[in-house]
Amino acid sequence: MRIAFLVAPEGVEQIELTEPWQAVTDQGHEPVLVSTEPRQIQAFNHLDKADVFPVGLVVREASPETFDGLVLPGGVANPDLLRTDEDAVSFVRDFFDLGRPVAAICHAPWTLVEADVLSGRTLTSWPSLRTDIGNAGGIWVDEQVRVCDHGPNTLVTSRKPDDLKAFCTTFVTEFAKARKDV
Protein backbone atom coordinates (compact mmCIF):
# COMPACT_ATOMS: atom_id res chain seq x y z
CA MET A 1 0.00 0.00 0.00
CA ARG A 2 1.02 3.57 -0.64
CA ILE A 3 -0.03 5.90 2.20
CA ALA A 4 -0.02 9.72 2.07
CA PHE A 5 0.96 11.64 5.20
CA LEU A 6 -0.32 15.21 4.78
CA VAL A 7 1.45 17.88 6.85
CA ALA A 8 2.03 21.62 6.77
CA PRO A 9 5.55 23.02 6.33
CA GLU A 10 5.77 23.41 10.10
CA GLY A 11 3.87 22.55 13.23
CA VAL A 12 3.33 18.80 13.01
CA GLU A 13 3.76 16.99 16.32
CA GLN A 14 6.82 14.85 15.54
CA ILE A 15 5.76 11.69 17.36
CA GLU A 16 2.35 11.81 15.63
CA LEU A 17 4.22 11.73 12.31
CA THR A 18 7.05 9.32 13.09
CA GLU A 19 5.19 6.56 14.94
CA PRO A 20 2.42 6.15 12.30
CA TRP A 21 5.11 6.40 9.59
CA GLN A 22 7.03 3.58 11.27
CA ALA A 23 3.87 1.50 11.60
CA VAL A 24 3.28 1.79 7.84
CA THR A 25 6.92 0.98 7.08
CA ASP A 26 6.92 -2.00 9.48
CA GLN A 27 4.05 -3.52 7.49
CA GLY A 28 6.07 -3.23 4.28
CA HIS A 29 4.04 -0.35 2.91
CA GLU A 30 5.19 2.94 1.38
CA PRO A 31 4.62 6.17 3.34
CA VAL A 32 4.88 9.41 1.34
CA LEU A 33 5.25 12.83 2.98
CA VAL A 34 2.95 15.30 1.24
CA SER A 35 3.06 18.99 2.15
CA THR A 36 1.89 22.36 0.89
CA GLU A 37 5.48 23.47 0.20
CA PRO A 38 8.49 21.63 -1.30
CA ARG A 39 11.82 20.67 0.28
CA GLN A 40 11.29 19.90 3.98
CA ILE A 41 8.94 20.26 6.92
CA GLN A 42 9.76 21.32 10.47
CA ALA A 43 8.36 19.03 13.14
CA PHE A 44 7.80 20.02 16.78
CA ASN A 45 7.84 18.38 20.19
CA HIS A 46 4.86 20.31 21.50
CA LEU A 47 6.11 23.92 21.23
CA ASP A 48 9.82 23.18 20.68
CA LYS A 49 11.39 22.66 17.26
CA ALA A 50 12.32 19.04 16.64
CA ASP A 51 13.60 17.38 13.45
CA VAL A 52 13.10 18.24 9.81
CA PHE A 53 11.84 15.74 7.23
CA PRO A 54 12.07 15.75 3.42
CA VAL A 55 8.88 16.34 1.45
CA GLY A 56 8.07 13.63 -1.07
CA LEU A 57 5.31 15.46 -2.93
CA VAL A 58 3.72 18.89 -2.95
CA VAL A 59 -0.02 18.58 -2.40
CA ARG A 60 -1.01 20.58 -5.50
CA GLU A 61 0.89 17.98 -7.59
CA ALA A 62 -0.32 14.91 -5.68
CA SER A 63 -3.21 12.76 -6.82
CA PRO A 64 -5.29 10.97 -4.18
CA GLU A 65 -6.00 8.24 -6.75
CA THR A 66 -2.37 7.11 -6.42
CA PHE A 67 -2.71 6.42 -2.67
CA ASP A 68 -4.45 3.67 -0.72
CA GLY A 69 -5.03 5.82 2.38
CA LEU A 70 -4.34 9.12 4.12
CA VAL A 71 -2.85 9.83 7.55
CA LEU A 72 -3.30 13.25 9.14
CA PRO A 73 -0.88 13.76 12.05
CA GLY A 74 -1.70 16.41 14.62
CA GLY A 75 0.03 19.21 16.39
CA VAL A 76 -1.88 22.43 16.96
CA ALA A 77 -0.34 24.53 14.16
CA ASN A 78 -0.21 21.74 11.55
CA PRO A 79 -3.95 21.25 10.91
CA ASP A 80 -4.61 24.95 11.45
CA LEU A 81 -2.25 25.75 8.56
CA LEU A 82 -3.59 22.90 6.40
CA ARG A 83 -7.21 24.01 6.73
CA THR A 84 -6.33 27.40 5.24
CA ASP A 85 -4.78 25.83 2.13
CA GLU A 86 -7.34 25.08 -0.59
CA ASP A 87 -5.18 22.38 -2.20
CA ALA A 88 -4.73 20.55 1.11
CA VAL A 89 -8.45 20.71 1.93
CA SER A 90 -9.34 19.47 -1.55
CA PHE A 91 -6.79 16.64 -1.23
CA VAL A 92 -8.43 15.49 2.00
CA ARG A 93 -11.96 15.77 0.59
CA ASP A 94 -10.94 13.72 -2.44
CA PHE A 95 -10.00 10.76 -0.23
CA PHE A 96 -13.54 10.74 1.13
CA ASP A 97 -15.02 11.14 -2.36
CA LEU A 98 -12.92 8.18 -3.54
CA GLY A 99 -13.92 6.05 -0.55
CA ARG A 100 -10.33 5.69 0.65
CA PRO A 101 -9.55 5.24 4.37
CA VAL A 102 -8.37 8.21 6.44
CA ALA A 103 -6.70 8.31 9.87
CA ALA A 104 -6.40 11.48 12.00
CA ILE A 105 -5.01 12.08 15.47
CA CYS A 106 -5.17 14.88 18.03
CA HIS A 107 -5.89 18.27 16.37
CA ALA A 108 -5.86 16.80 12.83
CA PRO A 109 -9.68 16.64 12.57
CA TRP A 110 -9.64 20.44 12.15
CA THR A 111 -8.68 19.74 8.55
CA LEU A 112 -11.62 17.31 8.29
CA VAL A 113 -13.93 20.04 9.61
CA GLU A 114 -12.74 22.39 6.87
CA ALA A 115 -13.13 19.67 4.23
CA ASP A 116 -16.79 19.30 5.31
CA VAL A 117 -16.62 15.49 5.60
CA LEU A 118 -17.78 14.92 9.18
CA SER A 119 -21.56 15.03 8.89
CA GLY A 120 -22.98 11.93 10.58
CA ARG A 121 -19.56 10.54 11.54
CA THR A 122 -18.55 9.62 15.09
CA LEU A 123 -14.95 10.41 15.93
CA THR A 124 -12.54 11.41 18.64
CA SER A 125 -9.83 14.08 18.83
CA TRP A 126 -8.08 16.38 21.23
CA PRO A 127 -10.94 17.52 23.52
CA SER A 128 -10.80 21.19 22.45
CA LEU A 129 -12.10 20.23 18.98
CA ARG A 130 -15.37 18.86 20.39
CA THR A 131 -17.43 21.95 19.52
CA ASP A 132 -15.90 22.33 16.04
CA ILE A 133 -16.65 18.67 15.26
CA GLY A 134 -20.22 19.06 16.51
CA ASN A 135 -20.72 22.24 14.49
CA ALA A 136 -19.51 20.33 11.41
CA GLY A 137 -22.17 17.65 11.95
CA GLY A 138 -19.92 15.08 13.56
CA ILE A 139 -20.40 13.30 16.86
CA TRP A 140 -17.46 13.63 19.26
CA VAL A 141 -16.60 10.85 21.72
CA ASP A 142 -13.82 10.61 24.30
CA GLU A 143 -12.21 7.29 23.32
CA GLN A 144 -8.63 6.14 22.80
CA VAL A 145 -9.34 5.19 19.20
CA ARG A 146 -12.55 5.32 17.18
CA VAL A 147 -13.29 3.58 13.88
CA CYS A 148 -16.17 5.06 11.92
CA ASP A 149 -17.46 3.24 8.85
CA HIS A 150 -19.77 5.75 7.23
CA GLY A 151 -20.49 5.41 3.57
CA PRO A 152 -17.77 3.92 1.40
CA ASN A 153 -14.76 4.82 3.55
CA THR A 154 -13.34 4.29 7.00
CA LEU A 155 -12.20 7.04 9.36
CA VAL A 156 -9.86 6.13 12.24
CA THR A 157 -9.28 8.79 14.92
CA SER A 158 -7.44 9.11 18.23
CA ARG A 159 -7.10 11.81 20.88
CA LYS A 160 -3.42 12.35 21.67
CA PRO A 161 0.14 10.98 21.60
CA ASP A 162 -0.63 8.64 24.52
CA ASP A 163 -3.05 6.85 22.15
CA LEU A 164 -0.48 6.27 19.40
CA LYS A 165 -0.02 2.53 19.92
CA ALA A 166 -3.75 1.84 19.60
CA PHE A 167 -4.07 4.39 16.77
CA CYS A 168 -1.27 2.83 14.72
CA THR A 169 -2.43 -0.75 15.24
CA THR A 170 -6.00 0.17 14.33
CA PHE A 171 -5.41 2.31 11.26
CA VAL A 172 -2.91 -0.15 9.74
CA THR A 173 -5.47 -2.96 10.21
CA GLU A 174 -8.36 -0.88 8.84
CA PHE A 175 -6.35 0.33 5.83
CA ALA A 176 -5.45 -3.29 5.00
CA LYS A 177 -9.12 -4.32 5.23
CA ALA A 178 -10.12 -1.45 2.94
CA ARG A 179 -7.47 -2.46 0.42
CA LYS A 180 -8.81 -6.02 0.33
CA ASP A 181 -12.32 -4.70 -0.32
CA VAL A 182 -11.18 -2.90 -3.49
Domains and CATH numbers, the chain: 2-181 (3.40.50.880)
Q: Which residues pair with 2 in a beta bridge?
A: 30
Beta strands in the chain (DSSP E): 2-7, 10-13, 30-35, 40-45, 48-54, 57-58, 69-72, 102-105, 122-123, 139-140, 145-150, 153-158
The rounded mean pLDDT for the chain is 96
Residue 182: is its pLDDT beyond 60?
A: no
pLDDT of residue 165: 98
pLDDT of residue 167: 98
- Write the pLDDT tens digit of every residue in 1-45: 999 999 999 999 999 999 999 999 999 999 999 999 999 999 999
Which of the following is catalytic: 106, 148, 150, 168?
A: 106
Is 106 one of the catalytic residues?
A: yes
Which of the following is catalytic: 107, 148, 150, 168?
A: 107
Is 107 one of the catalytic residues?
A: yes
> pLDDT category, 78, cuts 50, 70, 90?
very high
pLDDT of residue 181: 63
Strands 153-158 and 69-72: unpaired
- DSSP assignment letter at 160: S
Amino acid at 134: G
Q: What is the mean pLDDT of residues 130-151?
A: 95
User: What angle do helix axes 14-26 and 164-181 make, rounded to 10 degrees?
Assistant: 50
* Separation of CA 25 from chain center: 16
